[in-house]
């Protein structure tokens, strides 16, 4: 009966992989897009606030469903619809801004890595297989794009 040869990860390994301090190396690539980061943060705060407000507006509609004044019920219902519409617009804006930020940062990283790889000596390419270098560049930058493009918000 064959046993799994890989040892289970210890808590130290697991905690080390959760450190976000390594993401500080991305700051020089993100700094030129500070306005885009600010806009994405504002959209995030706006949508968070609206998502907390929407249940309150819906509660007003439900609680006042039996009142005789239909104008007041219409106002509550309209307010709930406006909040839902603003939430949809804010969420779409946040997604677009964060995605654009991720794509721009990854594009700059790919340019910097490409310039660095081109400047390497031929001896480097004799030791390391070129396909491995390209695979690692592609995989790592795709991972960074997924983190910055969707997971960060």
CATH of the domain at 87: 1.20.1560.10
- DSSP three-state, residue 77: helix
Kindly state whether residue 20 falls inside one of the protein's structural domains.
no
Residue 26, in any domain of the structure? no
Which pLDDT belongs to residue 1? 47
Work out the number of other CB atoms within 10 angstroms of the CB of residue 101. 20
* Structure confidence at residue 9 (pLDDT): 53
Count the alpha carbons within 13 Å of 69 in the hemisphere toward its beta carbon: 7
Maximum separation of any 2 CA atoms in the chain, in Å: 85
Average pLDDT, the chain: 80
Chain centroid offset of residue 106 CA: 13
16 in any annotated domain: no
- Domains: count for the chain: 1
Whether 63 is in a domain gets the answer: yes
Q: Is residue 22 part of a domain?
A: no
Domain span at residue 142 reads 32-151
| Residue range 29-83, pLDDT digits in tens | 889 999 999 999 999 999 999 999 988 888 888 887 777 777 877 888 898 899 9
Report how far apart, in Å, the C-alpha atoms of 14 and of each of 6, 51, 141 are: 15, 33, 22
Is the pLDDT at 4 greater than 50? The verdict is no
Res. 150: pLDDT tops 50: yes
Is residue 144 in a domain? yes
């Amino acid at each position: 009966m064959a046993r799994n040869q890989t040892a289970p990860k210890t808590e130290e390994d697991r905690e080390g992989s959760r450190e976000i301090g390594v993401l500080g190396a991305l700051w020089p690539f993100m700094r030129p897009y500070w306005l885009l980061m600010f806009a994405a943060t504002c959209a995030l705060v706006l949508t968070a606030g609206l998502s907390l407000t929407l249940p309150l507006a819906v509660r007003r509609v439900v609680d006042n469903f039996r009142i005789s004044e239909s104008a007041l019920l219409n106002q509550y219902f309209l307010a709930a619809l406006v909040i839902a519409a603003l939430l949809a617009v804010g969420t779409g804006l946040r997604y677009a801004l964060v995605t654009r930020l991720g794509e721009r940062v990854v594009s700059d990283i790919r340019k910097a890595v490409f310039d660095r790889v081109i400047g390497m000596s031929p001896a480097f390419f004799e030791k390391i297989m070129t396909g491995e270098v390209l695979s690692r560049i592609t995989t790592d930058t795709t991972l960074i794009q997924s983190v910055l493009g969707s997971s960060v918000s």
